[in-house]
């Protein structure tokens, strides 16, 4: 398809596109008003109208709302993409992208073409963001030959009101937004497909580099280096419990902290200084020197953007950014509600803006006036967007504020309800009055040189905090996440009534506490996303992918919910920083994000944006290829670790599985060991001995080792003695036979009980009378085949590559699955079950439906609509 950026109307055979510079709008209606008058005409007629969306769930929601008069088809994500086997960017021809129909999407595309042939008009209703615009563009490019009117509609909320507004004012495909998406793909491809092979050659296969992910890894590594180089500084604090000297008010006890000594800010660095100060305080008399009371306001936060939604999901619930976005996608696309069918509960969840539509503000005000009249402000609060953000969509909010979280108890599963409550509460609080409280500060002077300070607060008006059912003092842990609350601990208690000039006395001796300064904490998902956002790295829609990628590539790992760089991550980061200083430069990456935004705004063309990046990058790449990047595979790093066999100092090398230790006396001694981290630093892995097992050749103890086929016993004298044998011993199952429940049919041959046994292809059913009866059967899963009218059951089967799962009615039904099915429906597309599979070192549950893309984190329960 050829689309030219000219003011003249596009030919009817091509999808109409909008090439004028976009301007921030006040509402979805005003955004398309400049073009709608020319082509809107009457509202879309149901008969002969085809609407194409991205997901099957969104298609079901639209079908329920619009009725059978409209035909709705789902593209199930992108129909076209860059080829997986090559870079797909023509570096010699203005960086032209070579899109192809995605694997497995030919059938979907044929179905869309077939539906389009019988349609009178076609509406492209993919998501209203860069990715959605690109999807609409690619679909349009495949349908232009049909000579049908093709229009773009932006559905910001999947409600009757939102859909009607979108269909009433169709617009054009925004070429600037498409170009911005193309530029991002081109830059990411250029980096990934040129640097990654270099890392395979110099470090190990399977590594990858990314324009944004590598900067995120650098932030984690830089923070780790700060922590390592940090030198703690000792300091002491002294507190004193006091009360008025008047016996009638002896119950008015409060706590004050030493603030100044001889008028200077207190600085106590040693235990001796602290004890000297305590001894002096014991002999002092005190009086109230000054009192001050100031009214303070705590403003509600703006409504949620994508970034803040991900941060709050991580902070409050310890959700990964990916999981938070999956749950938000589900709420946007629609949830089955009793008597209402598939209903969208929130507006579009990918947005940088804190703007709210006027009708949304009125909806909130009506609800607040009815339920919390004391928290209703005279007019709706206005929030300012940050400079340079995309204001195409309003902030994330509920589609109907009357649909309270409490009304959805028992309808939404726990995790969906948590995210919905977060969005609903944030939206409503943003339209309420601020909380007001009285902050009291008391200065207590000693008759020598010490001055104490006490603070407290008293709530005057809870304002928006009334929605939380507290006065804002709580600092409890929220749902197992990080602490919430903004006030300092010493401000949380109300002070007793005190008078200026009155004497006070100590209730108990002063308490001195030792402290040490601490470095900045390691990033968690919330703080890393916040750092990326503040530095302009990536965009909110990419943060979830960034978090997932750096974990999957094993560049970082999570410990106690914090990111720690792995040795591999630090090694790769060091190589990339040395060889590609611009690529790993935070300011440079942020500037590239601004250039992509300029493409979307029409201020810069695609070719220039990509060229500005590629020219300096190609010079760094040539230098790295020519020897500028160190080849770790060819290097041996000396260590002080002696070889456990011959005593020669070992060297650190890199192999296909990462770093390892090898004897420095190679090839005379071929001893190798994995590296493990100990309190004293890196050390060779100590292999566990098998109790009572000795080598039959040399008599040395046997140790348990792991190989590609599992555990086995090997002589501890390796490589001098290479004796091995199976472990567990042959004939002894690693998993003992377990009787199955009574409903499992008995052996069909002899009537004996069937038990579980484990073989080279996994677990299976075997007759308990083995070896007299050698009957075996696949282990049942209890999960029915999803093919319509099949009636079979998914069972394990043996193949050339091990165990896989398929229908029991094969060959009548040839459906197969690569992993064990788990009886949990997919929370995104509703598929009847999920598939368990390995992803690196983790076990994940993923949806087998092509194009769905759902995947749960390790150990997480997938969200399921009740």
Rounded (10°) CA dihedral 110, 115, 120, 122: -70
Say whether the peptide bond before residue 667 is cis (omega within 30 degrees of 0): yes
Q: What crossing angle do the helices spanning 414-429 and 306-317 adopt, rounded to 10°?
A: 120
Q: Give dist(CA 176, CA 381) in Å, integer.
A: 33
The DSSP letter of residue 396 is B
Number of H-type helices and E-type strands within the chain? 17, 41
Element (H or E) spanning 50, and its range? Answer: strand 49-53
Q: For residue 520, give the nearest of 229, 216, 213 by alpha carbon.
A: 229
A 10 A CB-CB count for 88 gives 18
Element (H or E) spanning 33, and its range? Answer: helix 28-39
Cβ atoms of residues 683 and 670 within 8 Å: no
Radius of gyration, CA atoms only, the chain: 33
The rounded Cα 235 to chain-centroid distance in angstroms is 38
Q: What crossing angle do the helices spanning 213-229 and 540-552 adopt, rounded to 10°?
A: 70
Q: Strand, coil or helix: what is 289?
A: strand
Q: Which runs of consecutive H residues, i.e. helices, occur in 318-398?
A: 321-333, 358-371
A 10 A CB-CB count for 118 gives 10
CB < 8 Å & 24+ apart, contacts of 195-198: 195/576, 195/580, 195/621, 195/624, 198/621, 198/624, 198/625, 198/629
Q: Which two tokens stand for residue 440?
A: 């009291």
Q: Please tell me which residue in 348, 437, 614, 660 is annotated as part of the active site.
A: 348
Say whether the peptide bond before residue 719 is cis (omega within 30 degrees of 0): yes
Is 348 catalytic? The answer is: yes
Q: What is the 3-state secondary structure (H, E, C) of 301-332?
A: CCCECHHHHHHHHHHHHCCCHHHHHHHHHHHH
Q: Give dist(CA 804, CA 687) in Å, integer.
A: 33
Q: Which two tokens stand for residue 64?
A: 């329920």
Backbone dihedral angles phi then psi of residue 347, each to the nearest 5 degrees: -80, 175
Q: Which runs of consecutive H residues, i.e. helices, occur in 89-159?
A: 106-117, 130-143
Q: For residue 492, give the nearest of 458, 537, 461 by alpha carbon.
A: 458
* Residues with active-site annotation: 348
């Amino acid at each position: 398809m050829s689309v030219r950026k000219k003011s003249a109307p596009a030919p009817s055979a091509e999808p109409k596109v909008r090439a004028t510079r976009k301007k921030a709008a006040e509402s979805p209606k005003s955004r398309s008003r400049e073009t709608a008058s020319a082509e809107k005409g009457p509202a879309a007629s149901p008969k002969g109208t085809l609407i194409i969306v991205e997901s099957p769930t969104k298609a079901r929601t639209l079908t329920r709302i619009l009725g059978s008069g409209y035909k709705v088809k789902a593209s199930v994500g992108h129909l076209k993409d860059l080829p997986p086997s090559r870079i797909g960017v023509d570096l010699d021809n203005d960086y032209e992208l070579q899109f192809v129909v995605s694997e497995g999407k030919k059938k979907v595309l044929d179905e869309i073409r077939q539906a389009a042939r019988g349609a009178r008009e076609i509406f492209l209703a993919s998501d209203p963001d860069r990715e959605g615009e690109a999807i609409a563009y690619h679909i349009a490019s495949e349908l232009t030959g049909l000579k049908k009117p093709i229009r773009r509609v932006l559905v910001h909320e999947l409600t009757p009101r939102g859909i009607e507004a979108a269909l009433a004012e169709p617009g054009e495909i925004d070429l600037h937004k498409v170009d911005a998406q193309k530029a991002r793909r081109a830059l990411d491809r250029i980096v990934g497909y040129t640097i990654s092979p270099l890392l395979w050659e110099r470090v190990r296969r399977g590594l990858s580099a990314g324009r944004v992910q590598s900067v995120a890894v650098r932030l984690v590594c830089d923070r780790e280096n700060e922590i390592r180089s940090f030198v703690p500084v000792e300091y002491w604090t002294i507190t004193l419990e006091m009360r008025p000297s008047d016996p009638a008010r002896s119950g008015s006890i409060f706590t004050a902290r030493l603030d100044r000594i001889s008028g200077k800010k207190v600085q106590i660095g040693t235990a001796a200084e602290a004890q000297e100060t305590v001894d002096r305080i014991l002999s002092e008399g005190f009086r109230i020197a000054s009192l001050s009371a100031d009214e303070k306001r705590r403003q509600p936060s703006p409504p949620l953007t994508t970034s803040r939604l991900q941060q709050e999901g991580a902070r409050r619930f310890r959700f990964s950014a990916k999981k938070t976005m999956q749950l938000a996608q589900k709420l946007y696309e629609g949830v089955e509600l009793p008597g209402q069918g598939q209903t969208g509960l929130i507006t579009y969840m990918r947005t940088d803006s804190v703007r709210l539509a006027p009708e949304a503000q009125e909806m909130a005000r009506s609800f607040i006036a009815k339920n919390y009249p004391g928290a209703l402000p005279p007019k709706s609060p206005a929030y300012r967007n940050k400079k340079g953000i995309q204001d195409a969509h309003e902030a994330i909010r509920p589609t109907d504020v009357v649909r309270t979280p409490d009304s959805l108890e028992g309808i939404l599963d726990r995790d969906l309800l948590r995210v919905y409550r977060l969005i609903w509460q944030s939206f409503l609080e943003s339209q309420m009055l601020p909380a007001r409280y009285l902050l009291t500060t008391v200065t207590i002077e000693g008759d020598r040189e010490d001055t104490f300070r006490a603070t407290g607060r008293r709530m005057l008006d809870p304002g928006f905090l009334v929605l939380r059912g507290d006065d804002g003092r709580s600092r409890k842990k929220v749902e197992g996440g990080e602490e919430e609350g903004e006030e300092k601990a010493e401000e949380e208690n109300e002070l007793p009534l005190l008078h200026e000039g009155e004497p006070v006395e100590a209730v108990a001796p002063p308490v001195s506490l030792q402290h040490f300064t601490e470095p900045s904490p390691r990033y968690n998902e919330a703080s890393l996303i916040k750092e990326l956002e503040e530095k302009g790295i990536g965009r909110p829609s990419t943060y979830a992918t960034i978090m997932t990628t750096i974990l999957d590539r094993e560049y970082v790992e999570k410990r106690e919910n914090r990111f720690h760089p792995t040795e591999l991550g630090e090694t790769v980061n060091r190589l990339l920083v040395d060889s590609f200083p611009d690529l790993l430069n935070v300011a440079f990456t942020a500037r590239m994000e601004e250039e992509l935004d300029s493409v979307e705004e029409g201020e810069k063309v695609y070719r220039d944006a990509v060229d500005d990046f590629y020219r300096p990058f190609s010079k760094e790449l040539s230098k790295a290829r020519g020897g500028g990047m160190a080849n770790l595979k060819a290097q041996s790093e000396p260590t002080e670790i002696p070889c456990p066999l011959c005593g020669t100092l070992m060297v650190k090398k890199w192999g296909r599985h990462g770093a390892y230790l090898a004897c420095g006396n190679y090839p005379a001694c071929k001893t190798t060991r994995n590296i493990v981290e100990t309190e004293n630093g890196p050390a060779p892995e100590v292999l566990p001995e098998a109790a009572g097992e000795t080598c039959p050749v040399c008599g040395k103890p046997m140790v348990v080792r792991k190989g590609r086929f599992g555990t086995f016993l090997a002589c501890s004298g390796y490589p001098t003695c290479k004796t091995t044998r199976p472990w567990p011993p042959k004939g002894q199952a690693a998993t003992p036979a377990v009787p199955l429940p009574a409903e499992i049919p008995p052996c069909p041959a002899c009537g004996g009980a069937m038990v579980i046994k484990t073989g080279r292809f996994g677990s299976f059913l075997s007759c308990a009378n083995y070896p007299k009866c050698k009957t075996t059967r696949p282990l049942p899963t209890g999960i029915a085949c999803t093919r319509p009218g099949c009636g079979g059951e998914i069972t394990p089967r043996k193949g050339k590559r091990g165990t896989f799962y398929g229908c029991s009615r094969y060959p009548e039904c040839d459906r197969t699955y690569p992993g064990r099915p788990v009886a949990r429906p997919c929370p995104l597309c509703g598929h009847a079950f999920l598939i368990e599979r390995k992803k690196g070192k983790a076990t994940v549950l993923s949806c087998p439906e092509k194009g769905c893309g759902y995947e749960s984190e390790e150990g997480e329960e997938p969200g399921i609509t009740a």
